[in-house]
Amino acid sequence: MRRLFPEPADDIGVDQAYAAPLGTGAQRPWVGLCMVASIDGSIAVGGTSGQLSSPTDIAVLGQLRRIADVIVVGAGTVREEGYGPPTTPGQRIGVVTGSGRLDYDSELFGSGGAFVITAESSDFDAPAHVDVLRAGRDRLDPAEMVRRLPEMVERCVFVQAEGGAALNGAMFDADLIDEVNLTTSPAVFGGDGPRLTSGAPSITRRFDVAQVAVDDESFVYTRWLRRRG
Ligand SMILES: NC(=O)c1ccc[n+]([C@@H]2O[C@H](COP(=O)([O-])OP(=O)(O)OC[C@H]3O[C@@H](n4cnc5c(N)ncnc54)[C@H](OP(=O)(O)O)[C@@H]3O)[C@@H](O)[C@H]2O)c1
């Protein structure tokens, strides 16, 4: 990829451009959201993100996964996209659900690398081989969830949130997203695909641009840092 900002670089590797999170958390793990969207803001075409992506975008996702201690993802995304077990040693994947409607026989849960995140009041029973993190009484409390993620792994410095729209809405609402790693796919798809957030009340969360890069296929790779204070 070619980096335009901050320091221009004609040929920079994805591993270098995404070597580390943009910061570290003080009271809780640092949370980065990784997403791809079209020019017209859609995050899914025909129900999945596949048509929006590119080999370099997949490499970005892979690199950020390599440095993440925990991946957090909504049940809707797991049901739509199909998720495999974590590939980074020691890493775990937390799947946020209210209904508990998940395929517990899948490789994802069979690996022991995945766990379920839900509210205390949720009345489904996960099978014995699946760990459950309960955060919030009547409904999921995303801030408590992030604070308690270190209970699920040995080391928890960087959490990668991977959508989808509903979980993103709750995370932005609770102001838990410290950085956004957004790929813009060079196409307009129209339709009524979901955008980056859904279900959040009207909020304003300002971000500063931390990096801009492009590739030969006109994909644009941006990193955004939450402006605090
Ligand atoms: N372009 C991209 O980078 C990207 C990334 C991820 C996903 N996507 C796309 O986004 C779409 C899925 O969107 P979605 O809105 O369905 O996303 P989602 O957030 O992945 O899933 C929604 C489901 O997750 C659970 N959930 C999320 N937030 C919750 C909360 N605060 N409390 C309790 N449960 C919560 C609920 O599960 P239950 O229904 O089990 O209760 C809810 O129905 C798919 O088309 C996917 O392809 C795109």
Question: What count of Cα atoms within 13 Å lies in the side-chain half-sphere of residue 170?
Answer: 20
At residue 229, the pLDDT reads 80
Q: Give yes or no for a cis peptide into 8 (omega within 30° of 0).
A: no
Residue 45 backbone phi and psi in degrees, to 5: -125, 120
Residue 193 alpha carbon to ligand 1 centre in Å? 13
Please return the burial class of 18, using the count of CB atoms within 10 Å of its CB with bins 0-12, 13-18 and 19+. buried
At 23-73, the pLDDT tens digits run: 999 999 999 999 999 999 999 999 999 999 999 999 999 999 999 999 999
Residue 122 alpha carbon to ligand 1 centre in Å? 17
Q: Establish whether residue 62 lines the binding site of ligand 1, counting it when its CB lies within 6 angstroms of any ligand atom.
A: no
Residue 96 alpha carbon to ligand 1 centre in Å? 8
Distance of CA 92 to the CA centre of its chain: 13
At 194, the pLDDT band (50, 70, 90 cuts) reads very high
Q: Establish whether residue 213 lines the binding site of ligand 1, counting it when its CB lies within 6 angstroms of any ligand atom.
A: no
Q: Establish whether residue 167 lines the binding site of ligand 1, counting it when its CB lies within 6 angstroms of any ligand atom.
A: yes
